Amino acid sequence: MTIEIQSEFGSIDVSKEVVAVIAGGAAVDCYGIVGMASQKQLKDGITDLLGKENLARGVVIREDENLHIDMYIIVSYGTRISEVASNVQQKVKYQLEKMLGLKVNSVNIFVSGVRVTN
């Protein structure tokens, strides 16, 4: 599955996985984010044990006529969840527009958990 970007020189096809990695990388850089939650608990539970970090985990790209991104995050205990979610939305939208020139219509944040960090 790809997203097609039209430019004056022709068309560019960008994989949805690339968009998910960019969005996940932008999200984990935000203050208050401990990590990304997973949709596939069994498979990603094993990779967590092995120590593999996958930036696209917890990111779902939906495309109809518009581009929608669903992100499943885990926030740090003691942070204001609404502020963290708002910062993630803004940063993800900005990074995708800056890097790929994509117009993102919505970034939906689903807080899957709160974790105490040391």
Residue with tokens 């885990």: 74
Burial class (CB within 10 angstroms; exposed 0-12, middle 13-18, buried 19+) of 13 = exposed
- In DSSP terms, 63 is beta-bridged to 67
Q: Please give the model's pTM, rounded to 2 decimal places.
A: 0.82
Q: Residue 47's pLDDT is what?
A: 46
For 77-108, what is each residue's pLDDT tens digit?
A: 999 999 999 999 999 999 999 999 889 999 99
Domain 2-115 has CATH 3.30.70.1350: yes
Among 32, 23, 45, 48, residue whose Cα is nearest residue 111: 32
